Chains A and B, each alone.
Chain A
């Protein structure tokens, strides 16, 4: 089940993400080579990228409840049927805004929401529903804007999936049949939530939408035993590349849910439907057909720039995607979720163990269909839940895995886990790497210990234990190391953002008995460099006397729980040992002349030689980071979507 399960609610509007960008460049972490222009607006590593004064704020803006899907499958879009339609969806009130942040400069593809609260309320601010979004990192990043992202700067979209906890239901929810039914349907005092985000603005465009993006949210029931950070549903993957040169596919990743007992199929195109602008306008006009593969017609095709033609005998049509062309109405009001109700029994039967397909009639081969997307091979879906981990030395964490087939539990699945190979250091180069040497990732390889095979149990549930071992400054000027574990279950799938577990392992650090400024100065100067908003407006973190003047508020912030919005550092990238040291220093601030402490520990050296090729996943990551930082060349505009297939 999942957020697609009924009763569910769709809201849409804008999101604000005031992320900071000086830290998007790993070379900016080097205190010795840092210069003040890295804090200035501008692209390229000698500048601070597009939002150097970001404060990490994430919030919902201009969001309203658009549509409800009731347990019987009926859709409600007007407030006369249920008072929750048209109500406001907002962020926290009476506490600070939520935050959005990266795991590490070498792990920028798992940007996380922390401490984000969501509230649904009436225009009189009467609360209907409130909950805290469990921290969640974005996934399923895919290309959305096929006319390129010239206006806003970011043509990609992604989704956050999580649960709402600490639920507070309004006093008057009986007035809303939807809320009453949602409350009785859900379990564990949680709700499932999915947020599809796209159309984000790096650019100070004339429409004033800098740091805003579009967001489509879906809230549905959550059921015991389900994952937290992905939807327990089925997946359809795009198989046609956008162009010969691109690694991106049309309709790259789509969640869908078959509710067998109610003969209903819901497909979420909200994170995949190609759009022509940053506001979600659809310009496609071609017919899109949803079908189910006929028995003995399994589709193993991986993504390719070459269209795959499908014969009418190979599938059974379920229906036409009823998207609305020429506006953003379909995404903004209906969330891009296609629901087929009252499916004939034979279709439901077929879908129980055959692949879902997305097709469009071929223009060039009349009578044939071009395959745009297919469900996973054998309907298998294996995924890590809490796939992003911050680990201190000698700490062990557990990552949960779930295995499904055709939407049901797949017991006794074997999952293979392997550590990606180390990447080489990148030496200083006046053109391509002008600031300082960049250190590779995934080394030393024995920095983490983990099982290489996991077996899921009879509930399709398995766990991976990862232990952080002592590492000593492998990246010299950036704390710790980033490790990526890839996993598979022997099925080769075009998984988009990949099946991986991303880990930031912190450096070994011993808390001094009586820390002096020398013990923390490098840490604090680095924060002052990377987050100019702090030094400019709040406290100069690089100046010990300034810290002493503000020590009460700093102790307050540095001692907050990681799930508290006011936790410092906001980036949540400091080991407990280093944070304890800062707190100890604030308690008894001793200022000495900062000196480079001669570490007794031998630094971990990278043994990978320059020029060692990157793996496919590593190449994809590199391309995605370029896209994220707005340093990728503009994409060519595609104006005749599917017209020449």
Chain B
């Protein structure tokens, strides 16, 4: 079960001033970002025009992780902090632990091709609710499992502290708040007051984990955990006549092809350094990472005074996507049977000078 290092929860609980929360909210931004490369790598490993249902589900989750990252950055700005997105330590080392020791030191997250095991052992673990509701895969009932600490608890601790010590109007400069036409205004809105911040944290928790008694978030959409679980079972979670669960994985089946016709066999945790110098694959990887860097640098500026530049970064996201999809289609030089995965490495624009 996914655990968070309790010191972070304690830090939130023991804070006496808002500035003591800056570090923690920065960590929250890092955590939200850290889930995106693993999810995207799995999604890009799906061969184009196959696994449409899988792609749709992962994509919907990634978009919400981006939303959560943006909300967290808005909260940090509202609390008077400064989001830091463009530094080397913002990008986790894959494979490795997620920020704040999420899941414990034994929980290693990497960049891998899509598989049922990856969904079950990693993605569902990351998104696991405080109280996962166990829905039957048939119309048979199963027992529920006990409660464990989660990312949600961490967010709730921050939320409680804001409620306790923040003034009604938050101290940050309202001009720094980021909104976007790509997200509904009830999901992404300027965080100006204590109440705005509290509500925004609920959006993050609910979208990720659902509520305690329903797999749906406030908008009636399945929480991430259950969307991944749909992939695990290969069936949609639908309303079920059987109380007390109300839902079961007995909906339409999701066509999933994890054979070589559906998924590129990416070499796990591909790194630039694994690719031969002077190879096309290495050049492509450098292009990919330079777009990734460009995005981090661009988002840093967006969250530090240029909120209207968010649209420009949408285009960079497509640059990243196209570069990654092309990488995944490339056989790995000298590693027979494998393809090249996107490495999501922090590569400063000067890296070529060293090579």
A interface list, Cβ under 8 A from B: 16, 53, 55, 57, 59, 61-62, 64, 88, 90, 92-97, 121-125, 204, 207-210, 212, 533, 536-538, 552-553, 556, 565-566
Contacts and interface: CB of A to CB of B under 8 A. Distances in A.
Nearest to A89: B349
Contacts of A537: 48, 321-322, 325
Given A121-B349, A537-B48, A96 B283 contact: no
B315 A565 contact: yes
A463 to B, nearest CB: 35
A64 B49 CA distance: 41
A137 B82 CA distance: 42
A210 B279 CA distance: 9
A208 B280 contact: yes
A416 to B, nearest CB: 44
B269 interface: no
Contact of B294 (A62, A93, A536): A93
B314 A125 contact: no
A552 B286 CA distance: 30
B311 interface: yes
B352 A61 contact: yes
A165 B295 CA distance: 23
5 contacts: A95-B298, A96-B315, A97-B294, A207-B278, A533-B322
A201 B318 CA distance: 24
Interface in B285-325: 286-287, 290-291, 293-295, 297-301, 309, 311-316, 318-319, 321-322, 325
A94 B298 contact: yes
Contacts of A204: 280
Interface string B140-157: 000000000000000000
B350 interface: yes
B349 A90 contact: yes
Contacts of B281: 208
Contact of B301 (A59, A64, A94): A94
Most chain A CB within a 10 A radius of its CB, from B278, B283, B298: B283
A96 B350 contact: no
Most chain A CB within a 10 A radius of its CB, from B49, B291, B294, B315: B315
B353 A64 contact: yes
Closest 3 CB pairs of A and B: A94-B298, A96-B315, A95-B312
A552 B315 contact: no
Contacts of A565: 312, 315
Contact of A95 (B182, B316, B326, B350): B316
A61 B283 CA distance: 10
Contacts of A533: 322
A275 B142 CA distance: 75
Given A93-B294, A121-B349, 10 more contacts: A61-B287, A96-B319, A122-B350, A123-B353, A125-B350, A208-B281, A536-B48, A537-B48, A553-B314, A566-B315
A125 B294 contact: no
A96 B309 contact: no
Contact of B316 (A96, A210, A552): A96
B84 to A, nearest CB: 14
Query: Size band of the B side of the interface?
Result: 35 or more
A121 B314 CA distance: 24
B348 interface: yes
Contacts of A210: 280, 283
Nearest to B48: A536
A90 B351 CA distance: 12
A174 B318 CA distance: 38
Contact of A125 (B301, B325, B349): B349
A90 B353 CA distance: 12
Nearest to B352: A62
Contact of A55 (B182, B297, B301, B322): B322
Contacts of A61: 283, 286-287, 352
Contacts of B318: 96, 538, 566
A310 B303 CA distance: 67
B235 interface: no
A94 B280 contact: no
Contacts of A207: 278
Contacts of A90: 349
Contacts of B349: 88, 90, 93, 121, 125
A95 B278 contact: no
Contacts of B321: 537-538
A32 B26 CA distance: 55
Contact of B278 (A94, A208, A552, A566): A208
Contacts of A97: 291, 294, 319
Nearest to B300: A94
Most chain B CB within a 10 A radius of its CB, from A90, A537, A565: A537
Given A536-B49, A565-B315, A92 B294 contact: yes
B282 interface: yes
A611 B139 CA distance: 77
A528 to B, nearest CB: 13
Nearest to A115: B315
Given A537-B321, A537-B325, A208 B350 contact: no
Given A16-B287, A204-B280, A123 B350 contact: yes
A94 B326 contact: no
A57 B288 CA distance: 12
Given A61-B352, A123-B350, A125-B349, A94 B297 contact: yes
Given A125-B349, A537-B48, A566 B322 contact: no
Nearest to B280: A208
A93 B297 contact: yes
Nearest to A205: B280
B181 to A, nearest CB: 8
B322 A208 contact: no
A88 B49 CA distance: 40
B352 to A, nearest CB: 5
A88 B350 contact: yes
Contacts of A538: 318, 321-322
Contacts of A16: 287
Contacts of B293: 93
Contacts of B301: 94
Nearest to A121: B349
A566 B349 CA distance: 22
A412 to B, nearest CB: 47
Most chain A CB within a 10 A radius of its CB, from B293, B300, B349: B349
A92 B182 CA distance: 23
A355 to B, nearest CB: 43
Given A16-B287, A123-B353, A552-B182, A95 B313 contact: yes
B85 to A, nearest CB: 11
A94 B322 contact: no
A59 B289 CA distance: 14
Contacts of B297: 93-94, 125
